[in-house]
Amino acid sequence: MLKFVLLLFVTLGINGNLLVKASQKTDIHNAIWGARTSSDVLIKREVVKKLFKPLRIVAADYEFRQTSERTAYPRTITQIVVTDQYSDGDGGYATLKSGGPGMDFAVIHLKSQRGHGYHFTIDIYGQ
């Protein structure tokens, strides 16, 4: 009888671990602002990466401004897609500080988790 109970506990323990691992989901910190249509074009694609600093949070602002010398009429932003390149949950966070969809500029605040860096791909679409 004792062997049966022990076997039952071992079996339930293994199954319990499998269920916990199957239900865990990695956190990817992607951000999307605005909506894109079929007539939109990619205005800018930028890869932004910052290395980690031990026991510290790394943060910086990414600023997108269209220069008036290059374009007489700057494009209006319709969508911003920030893709986290760390798929294991150790990536950073992106927040829109100012500008964005409906404007011709954007300032995005990028922030890492403590003790980690960040690696984002920023795509800006507009008309």
pLDDT the model gives residue 21: 46
> Max CA-CA distance within the chain?
85
Q: Is residue 36, in this structure, part of any structural domain at all?
A: yes
pLDDT the model gives residue 3: 59
Q: Is residue 18, in this structure, part of any structural domain at all?
A: no
**pLDDT tens column, 12-47:** 554 444 444 444 455 678 999 999 999 999 999 999
Q: Is residue 52, in this structure, part of any structural domain at all?
A: yes
Q: What is the pTM of this model?
A: 0.74
Q: Is residue 16, in this structure, part of any structural domain at all?
A: no
Measure the CA–CA gap between 68 and 27, rounded to whole angstroms: 39
What is the tally of structural domains in the chain?
1
Q: Is residue 98, in this structure, part of any structural domain at all?
A: yes
Type and span of the H or E element at 21? helix 2-23
Give φ, ψ of 108 to 5 degrees: -115, 130
Measure the CA–CA gap between 113 and 9, rounded to whole angstroms: 38
Q: Is residue 55, in this structure, part of any structural domain at all?
A: yes
Average the pLDDT over 60-80 and give the result.
Answer: 86
Q: Is residue 90, in this structure, part of any structural domain at all?
A: yes
Q: Is residue 11, in this structure, part of any structural domain at all?
A: no
* Upper half-sphere CA count for residue 41 (Cβ side, 13 Å): 5
Range of the structural domain that residue 100 is part of: 26-126
